[in-house]
Amino acid sequence: MELRVGLDIGSTTIKCVVIDENNEIIYSSYERHLSKISEKIAEVLKVLKKDVLNGIENVKISLSGSAGMGIAESCGFPFVQEVYATRIAAKLFNPETDAIIELGGEDAKILFLNNGVEVRMNGSCAGGTGAFIDQMASLLNVSIEEMNELAKSHEKIYTIASRCGVFAKTDIQPLLNQGGRKSDISASIFYAVVNQTIAGLAQGREISGNVLYLGGPLTFISELRAAFDDVLKTNGTCPKNSLYYVSLGAALASDKLINLDTLLEKVSNYSHLGNFAFRPPLFNNEEEYLAFKKRHDQAQVAIYPFEKLQGPAYLGIDAGSTTLKCVVMDEKKNIYYTKYMSNSGNPVPLVKDLLQEIYELKPDIQIKASAVTGYGEDIIKNAFKVDFGIVETIAHFMAAKKFMPEVEFVIDIGGQDIKCFKIHNGTIDNIFLNEACSSGCGSFLQTFASALGYDIASFSKLGLFAKRPVNLGSRCTVFMNSAVKQAQKDGASIEDISAGLSLSVVKNALYKVIRASSPEELGKKVVVQGGTFLNDAVLRAFELEMGIEVVRPNISGLMGAYGAALYAQLMCENNKESTLISAEELEQFTHKIQVTNCGLCENHCRLTINVFNDGRRFIGGNRCERPITKKVVDNELNIYSYKLNLLQSYRDDTKGKRGEIGIPLGLNMFELLPFWTVLFNSLDIKVIYSPLSSRKLYLYGQTTIPSDTVCFPAKLMHGHIRELIRMGVKKIFYPCMSYNIDEKKGDNHYNCPVVAYYSEVINNNIKDLKKENIDFIKPYLGIHRHKDFASKFYENMKPHFPDLELKEVQEAVKNAYKAYDDYLSKIRIKGDEIILRAREKGKQILVLAGRPYHLDPEINHGIDKMLSSFDVTIISEDVVSNKVKSKINVHVLNQWTYHSRLYYAASYITNQKDMNLIQLVSFGCGVDAITTDEVRDILEKANKIYTQIKIDEITNLGAVKIRIRSLLSALERKENQNGKIKIR
């Protein structure tokens, strides 16, 4: 009997099969390898030798799987690439298969087997895999099996960003905090995985026919299969041995006899190459560590036993994203009670228990005032009638000042977020929050520790004396996973990796979030806090990287809560009683959740309505105040809503004697809408625009997107074009435009490459264009050359509208340029009006600066509306960019029309006292890597606060809100040094 062996070393598991000459499996095993790869292979081989192969010396064996590549190379294992292996197995066992979807621990793959084999693997930016589901399950505090069960009874599907785990987390956390149902969230997570897989991997190819589901997640999670079935409108099968296809393929491909003992010896002696980049050790010896410990033990606030508490007390709660923290202090600011616990999703029952505990331990407690901060601020404040709510940044600042009165810089690394700010003249001057893509913080270390089989505390301790900490760089979580894999392959020890991860967290904070290049930039007086800094390895890494000594308070993880308590003390008025829920009320406390969709505007926010026992209600998930106040927001001071209405007013009412033409309403077509409408109407051609973007429209086009890392506004174009086709339009006009209008503001007047040529991508990736016989018109047009434009336009359009005359085109073009100018001047006039009115009312004016297409509510996610709800005035960059008459000097090549408006707008507001700027940046916009630094420079030179908001598919505005509130309160402080928020 001839046996063949296949091993599959995945990112988290090792799978082994042995098959006989009939390709029947006679043995299989499936185990987690906890990254101890060579040891585990040796173990598996020994078991094989002993139990399965009895006596066979030479066996046909191959190895597959991404984590096995290195060891295969050096031990002389024949290696089969894993996707290729899958294909071999599928061809044999399921020859009728058209497509395979395989999800693994960290990989996602789609194989197309019919009409030309095509294989897709997740690229460098992808979540939506087994590891992602694991992460989400631990966020929900359930097991995978429970999650599957929960999903079965779902009622609603929430929109969860499907690009990467970090994004999804930012979506899920607030849902949990606002009391979203776990069953709905579980199912939504599975749908997010489906969307991620399709958007990231299908890349324009339709998944149809017989679909095979392979790999761990799809084998174990029936609801995930159901979600795929639902979205793909198919009925896929999960075959027998679905876990083992890769190893089966490897076994099938084995054709070389290998001596098992030799192999085993090689694997056991597998000496690591030791070839990885590393950094100096965190500590060279025990003495260094002790001195370090001693120094940090000095930063203390006194903590006494709870029963010693006398007199009025102040309660501070920090309902963070992954942890809940609480502090009770007395008038002298000494602490008597602390609590630090992980937040398993819904903070309400936790706070209830916590308050109960406080009332039980100290029945005579006299809480004078209470305050809450963090992600869960709103719901906790409402549920328990907490006196004050406070933005996290301010809370942390208050606490930091207690330890270092002249603190210049505070950095807080929590479970999921990094918050840092500079302090200038006693005011929070500059706030950095981590963008959704770089949260290599506490929760990441945590996940990593448990993936490697350690708890967080002992894992990070391992790194303290590591000889060669791995240099893992400063990238987001998903990348980091693979970087660790690489380091392991190169022979890094667990100690080296632990230390390396601590260094990475620090680097992420410094170089990605703060973007500092030297300690001088941050100041010499630095307070570090947040749970992650309780970790000595991270703290040391930070000091080493910065080259300075910092202060870590003994209550480093409780600073938010302590700050809230300090704030409560500061804000409370002497003769007023705290509104906090009493012990008696607490006993009656109940909390129910309903989910509904708000129908008050086109955003259709999903609302969670929390109902409390006394009939009070709290609504979460809303972007604006309308569902709560039922009042229409004053859009009069929001240019975004004016612009959107103005665009709608270019409604086409021509009969269209010459026929009609469709235009997708996205990217540069936004601002050029008046131009094209008037141009075509003057030629008796009716223009049909695609509707404003929506989630549905995006999903409709999603399967045709070839590059998963292109910006969201570009991705939306696929939906717009498909929608136009669905609407029955036969001619679609979407020109290529290297150049934009020359506003004489810069060195050139380009569009960015994506805006310039996206119609080429559309043309080659949306099959319906051909199938429906659409006349897709995508000429290269130079709108910057007024003189030549008419004749060039005429030349290009003549084949599609043969009876056009050059003369009428010339006339029409004239009208079009005029319409464009009119449109811009209308915006400017309205903008000036808004500025005037805001000034009359003494309101803050914010320039919400981005690109014309950020007007799309699906792109800006209603940020303008949210800002309006804070009672500020909103104008856009094009309102003020023209007010600077002379050419400004910037330190970059100023060559894109839309982007140069940003520089001009920033430059204009530098001497406008009541104006500030928020820059909207699309995730993946390469050009903004250049503009953001420059805009920041311009503003900071003039002592203005720079705020940037990165937007993507992401739909939750929680993080954005923090930023805005911090900005507004910083501005308030700035405006009036002795203002409302006194910070002593």
Q: Which of residues 877-916 bind other proteins (CB under 8 A)?
A: 889, 891-893, 895-896
Pick from 799, 807, 798, 902: which is nearest to 849 by CA?
902
Complex with other proteins: residue 234 or 707, whichever CB lies closer: 707
| Residue 486 lies near other proteins (rule: CB under 8 A) | yes
CB of 57 or CB of 747, closer to other proteins:
747
User: Closest separation between CB of residue 790 and other proteins, Å?
Assistant: 10
Q: Given the complex with other proteins, which of 594 and 764 has the nearer CB atom?
A: 764
Query: Which of 66, 86, 64 is closest to 12 using CA atoms?
Result: 66
Between 451 and 527, name the residue whose CB sits nearer to other proteins. Answer: 451
Q: Which of residues 750-789 bind other proteins (CB under 8 A)?
A: 750-754, 756-758, 760-761, 764-765, 778, 780-782, 784-785, 787-788
* Minimum CB distance to other proteins smaller for 107 or for 171: 107
One residue of 343, 346, 474, 922 binding other proteins per CB under 8 A: 474
By C-beta, is 83 or 962 nearer to other proteins? 83
Q: Are 465 and 275 in contact (CB under 8 A)?
A: no
CB 422 within 8 A of CB 409: yes
d(CA 487, CA 347): 38
Q: Which of residues 194-213 bind other proteins (CB under 8 A)?
A: 203-205
CB of 626 to other proteins, least distance (A): 35
Give least dist CB 910 to other proteins, A: 18
Shortest spacing between CB 491 and other proteins, in angstroms: 13
Nearest-approach distance from CB 710 to other proteins, in angstroms: 4
Instruction: Provide the minimum distance between the beta carbon of 33 and other proteins in the complex, in angstroms, as a whole number.
Output: 16
DSSP state of 802: T
Q: In the sheet that 606-612 helps form, which strands lie side by side, from edge to edge?
A: 591-597, 606-612, 617-620
With CB under 8 A as the contact rule, which of the stretches 322-330, 392-400, 479-487, 813-821 interacts with other proteins? 479-487
Bridge partners of residue 611, in order along the sequence? 592, 617
Least Å from the CB of residue 430 to other proteins = 17
Q: Which of 183, 222, 482, 654 binds other proteins (CB under 8 A)?
A: 482
Site string for other proteins, 113-152 (x = CB under 8 A): ---xxxx-x-xxx---------------------------
Site residues for other proteins, 668-697, by CB under 8 A, read none
For other proteins (CB under 8 A), the number of binding residues is 83
Question: Which residues in 536-565 contact other proteins (CB under 8 A)?
Answer: none
Task: Please give the radius of gyration of the chain, using alpha carbons only, rounded to the nearest integer.
Answer: 30
Give the footprint of other proteins on residues 97-116 (CB under 8 A). Answer: 116
Q: How far, in whole angstroms, is CA 25 from its chain's centroid? A: 43
Token pair belonging to 737: 């435009």
794 binds other proteins (CB under 8 A): no
**Residue of 16, 44, 83, 939 interacting with other proteins (CB under 8 A):** 83
Nearer to other proteins, 283 or 923 (CB): 923
User: Interface residues for other proteins in 241-280 (CB under 8 A)?
Assistant: 277
Q: What's the CA gap between 673 and 665, in Å, rounded?
A: 8
Looking at residues 153 to 192 of the shown chain, list those that interact with other proteins (rule: CB under 8 A). Answer: none
Rank residues 167 and 375 by Cβ distance to other proteins and give the closer one: 167
CA dist 745 to 817, 853, 910, Å? 19, 20, 18
Judge contact between 692 and 602, C-beta under 8 A.
Answer: yes
**Residues in 443-472 at the binding interface with other proteins, rule: CB under 8 A:** 471
CB of 116 to other proteins, least distance (A): 5
Give the integer Cα–Cα distance in Å for 767 and 188.
Answer: 29
Question: What values do phi and psi take at 88, rounded to 5?
Answer: -60, -45
Footprint on residues 629-658 left by other proteins (CB under 8 A)? none
CB atoms within 10 A of CB 971: 19
Please give the distance of CA 20 from its chain centroid, rounded to a whole number: 48
- Residue carrying structure tokens 């876990």: 243
Smaller CB separation from other proteins, 52 or 119:
119
Task: Determine contact, residues 213/237, Cβ cutoff 8 Å.
Answer: yes
CA separation for the pair 587, 268 (Å, rounded): 62
Window of 18-26, 361-369, 370-378, 484-492 that interacts with other proteins by CB under 8 A: 484-492
Name which of 445 and 470 has its Cβ closer to other proteins.
Answer: 470
Residues between 695 and 754 with contacts to other proteins, criterion CB under 8 A: 706-707, 709-710, 714, 736, 738-739, 748, 750-754
Residue 984 to residue 426: CA distance in whole angstroms: 9
Q: Which is nearer to other proteins, 124 or 590 (CB)?
A: 124
Burial of 506 (0-12, 13-18, 19+ CB in 10 A): buried
For residues 921 to 960, the per-residue mask of contacts with other proteins, x marking binding by CB under 8 A and - elsewhere, is: ---x-xxxxx-xx---------------------------
Task: State in angstroms the smallest separation of the CB of 794 from other proteins.
Answer: 12
Among residues 121 and 688, whose Cβ is nearest to other proteins? 121
Tokens 């690439």 label which residue?
81
Q: Give the integer Cα–Cα distance in Å for 533 and 502.
A: 10
Query: Which residue of 81, 373, 460, 502 would you call a contact of other proteins, by CB under 8 A?
Result: 81
Residue 75 or 756: the one with the smaller Cβ distance to other proteins is: 756
Smallest separation (angstroms) from other proteins to the CB of 496: 15
The whole-angstrom separation of Cα 350 and Cα 465 is 37
Residue 503 three-state SS: helix
Question: How far is the C-alpha of 420 from the C-alpha of 532, rounded, in Å?
Answer: 14
Contacts with other proteins in 52-71 (CB under 8 A)? Answer: 66, 69-70
Q: What share of the chain is helix, strand, coil (3-state, %, to 5)?
A: 45, 20, 35
DSSP 99-117: EEEEE-SS-EEEEE-SSS-
Q: Which amino acid is at 645?
A: N
The nearest distance, CB 759 to other proteins, in angstroms, is 9
Give the residue among 415, 367, 419 at the shortest CA–CA distance from 393: 419
Q: Which of 483, 724, 838, 880 binds other proteins (CB under 8 A)?
A: 483
Q: Whose Cβ is closer to other proteins: residue 66's or residue 682's?
A: 66
Distance CA 321, CA 170 (A): 9
Q: Return the residues of window 506-525 that contact other proteins according to CB under 8 A.
A: 511-512, 515, 517-518
Give me the phi and psi of 346, to 5 degrees please. -105, 115
Contact of 884 with 904, CB cutoff 8 Å: yes
φ, ψ of residue 316 in degrees (nearest 5)? -125, 130
The answer to the question of residue 480 lying near other proteins (CB under 8 A) is yes
E-assigned strands of 241-296? 257-259
Shortest distance (Å) from residue 872 CB to other proteins = 28
The residues near 331 (Cβ < 8 Å, ≥ 6 apart) are 311, 312, 569
Question: Which residue's structure tokens are 């202060």?
Answer: 551
Of the pair 58, 709, the CB lying nearest other proteins is at 709
Q: Quick one: 277 or 983, whose CB is closer to other proteins?
A: 277
In the bound state with other proteins, the residue whose beta carbon lies nearer, of 124 and 575, is: 124
Alpha helices in 283-336 (DSSP H): 286-296
Q: What's the closest the beta carbon of residue 778 comes to other proteins, in angstroms?
A: 7
